[in-house]
Structure formats: C-alpha cells, structure tokens
A and B are shown apart, each in its own frame.
Chain A
Amino acid sequence: MCGLGAWLPPTVVTNDDLARRLDTSDEWIRTRTGIRARHVASPGMPTSHLAAEAGARALESAGVHDVDMVVLATTTPDRPCPATAPVVATRLGLTGRPAFDVSAVCTGFLYALATGAGMITSGAVETVLVVGSEVYSTILDPADRSSSVIFGDGAGAVVLRAGHRSEDGAVGRSELGSDGSLADLITVRAGGSEQRSSGAPALPADRYFSMWGKEVFAHAVTRMAEATRAALAGAGWHAADLDRLIGHQANVRILHALGEYLDIPRERLVIHLDQIGNTAAASIPLALAYAQSTGELAPGARVALTAFGGGATWGATTLTWPALKTV
C-alpha cells in the first residue's frame, strides 16, 4: 500500500437535523450507535463522483498519475448496469485500464483489496487503485428512522503496488467468508432479477435498504472476531501485538464488543463513525485516512482490518503501516 486518499461530500447532517424530521433524538442515536453526524452527497453527485475524488487523492498520495487497474467496491453503483469502476477510471484519466466493481456491501473494500493484491501477486498487474465509495442516501427510506440515522456517504481509496512481502504496507493474507442463508439480514429486496422475474411489482418499502440490527450485531462481532484471529495467525501475530484494529465502522457498540471479544483494549480501536456514520464499503479506507491524519497510524504500526456486511460477507487482513504522504 503506497497511497491513501479520502473524500466526503461537504453537506453534514447532524443528529439534531434528523430529529427535526424523524421521531428520534441525538441522545437516542448516540447511545445506540455512537454516531453524531454523517455527510450526505448533494443531488446529482453519484458514487462515481465521490470515488473519483478519493481516487485522485490516493494517486497524489502515491505520487503517481497512472495505475494498471481500478477496482471499486460499492453497494450503490451509479447504475445497475454497467459497473461504475470504468466511469471512475475515465474520470481519473485512466481510460483503457481494466476496471470493475466488487459487490460485498460493507465488506466490499476488503474483498476489493484482496482482489487487487491477488492480481499483483499473480503478476498480471503491478499497480492497482482500490476504491470504496458509497452514496447510501440514495437507497435509504427517508421515513425509516432506524436506517436513516446510521448511514452516511463518502469514499476512500488506496494505491497498491508490487513489492516484497517484508516491506511495510504489504497486504497480509486475506481471510474472507460468506453465508448466503443470511441474505435477508441486510438487503435491498427489489430491483434485481429475483423481484423482476417474479412478475410482481416491487412493494415501495422493498425499493429501500433494510437491516435486522440485532442479528447483524451478533453475527458481525463473532464473524469479524474469527476472521481477525485467522488473519493474525496468518501474520504470526497475537492480538496483544496489534497497535490498531480497524473494524468496519457500523456501530461503536459493535466495535467495543469486538474489542472485548478479542481482548483488544478500546484505546487500540480506531473509531471514526462518530463523525461520518456507517459508510459501508468506504468505511475502512476512510478510517485509515482519519487515523493517518490524527497520527494514530504511524509507520511501523501493526494493523488489522476487519469487516462484516450484507451477503452475509466478512473478512480480515493485516499490514504493517507504511510511511504514506497525507493528502
């Protein structure tokens, strides 16, 4: 990993702003999620826009203008078809490069990172731009207080290059998993071939995102803990060796429970969601950029990344933090 960039749309929506239009309160949202505010994309600002902004910053951080491939993780592509990554590549002046989307919801960035790193390891490419970008505000039911308070829009990106496994920034073995029997836990039910082939029109509520919060909480903690343990074992590290655990920023109580489950003290957890909410596939690169900017991530720090998301999907990997240029 040799470059890192992030971008958040300028509009901020606070808990108090939401409480003016929904039956909720700042206190209710903070105690249940840890979230204080989130950024929201302006009208006419699709996922590709955020992705290109973050991608340009990651390229600048890496000191390059070109990469061999672009991988975009998103739940909210610009269109159901085609993929959004080619649009992002062209916006970045990378027309002609291979570019494709990876769909693993909140685990999407870790799947995309593993894909990019694997393509480098195979020798097919030498550099990859990996982006996580989301505009969840386009799939949330504005009247649903349970999901509206949680999610935010944003994008983060990293540049990967070929290097030696012993270098700082080398992405460790990725531990990825899925369980399709949990597809209903986190879903947008309508709009795909399942609903369209049914012959029945989509119910209005099915056009929007829905989540079973309690079940997700329990699965998220246990799956992220298992994946993190496996990734740590792959790196030859123990939990006590970790300087920072960067878990998917869904809910601060999930992150605290994950820390307890793994015996990792709270001060070693990166917490960024209080400022931006859950940004799904963008949350890990955004948390990396945040922790780099605050100095929480210093060169040489031992870091584990882990996520759980719709699918269900989960994953974890490790790296020793490299010296990166902050953009």
Chain B
Amino acid sequence: MTDVTPPTFEQLAAIVEDKLGLPPRRIQPDTVLSEVDIDSLSLIEVSLALEKQYGVHLETEDVDTAITARDLHDLVLSASTARP
C-alpha cells in the first residue's frame, strides 16, 4: 500500500470551484454538488485534476455517489490510503 498526501478540504474545494467556474469559497462541506450547476462531466474533470495534482485515483462510479462536497472529500481521503 502506498500512501499519497491527499488534498485538504480547502484544496479540493478550490479544484471544484475552478472546474465549475465558481467564486472562491463557494464550495463548503455541506454544499450539495447537484445544486452548484455541476454537469455529469464536471466531476470527472475534478477527478482527473485530483489524479494529476495529488495522485489520487477515484472510480467514476464512486464519484457518482457523492452528494455533498464533504462526501467527495471523504472519497478522496479513503482513496488516498487504499491505493494499491
């Protein structure tokens, strides 16, 4: 198992804000992702940015289960410690 350094919530939120064209600090832990004009491809773009910047690989079907931004960050944390 290889640990990678995962992004903090603020770092993750900044990636989501960048990909969705949202103002800084728009994404909070309780933000419901479907309520910030996210389309079906935006979360894939977020996943790819996480993979490049932090080496964290998220499965597409797992990303779809995230309701809030906190859910997404939890997925990132668990993917960071469960990497083969």
Contacts and interface: CB of A to CB of B under 8 A. Distances in A.
A135 to B, nearest CB: 27
A221 interface: yes
Nearest to A258: B48
Contacts of B39: 31-32
B18 to A, nearest CB: 10
A212 to B, nearest CB: 9
Contacts of B45: 253, 257
B60 A215 contact: yes
A218 interface: yes
Interface residues of A, number: 14
Nearest to A215: B60
Residue from A218, A222, A260 having most chain B Cβ neighbours under 10 A: A218
B24 to A, nearest CB: 20
Given A214-B60, A215-B60, A221 B40 contact: no
A237 interface: no
Contact of B41 (A217, A222, A260): A217
Contacts of A222: 48, 51
B52 interface: yes
A251 B40 CA distance: 13
Given A253-B41, A257-B48, 14 more contacts: A32-B39, A32-B41, A214-B41, A214-B60, A215-B60, A217-B41, A217-B44, A222-B48, A222-B51, A253-B45, A257-B44, A260-B49, A260-B52, A261-B48
Interface of B: 39-41, 44-45, 47-49, 51-52, 60, 64
19 contacts: A32-B40, A32-B41, A213-B40, A214-B44, A214-B60, A214-B64, A215-B60, A217-B41, A217-B44, A218-B48, A222-B48, A251-B41, A253-B41, A253-B45, A257-B45, A260-B48, A260-B49, A260-B52, A261-B52
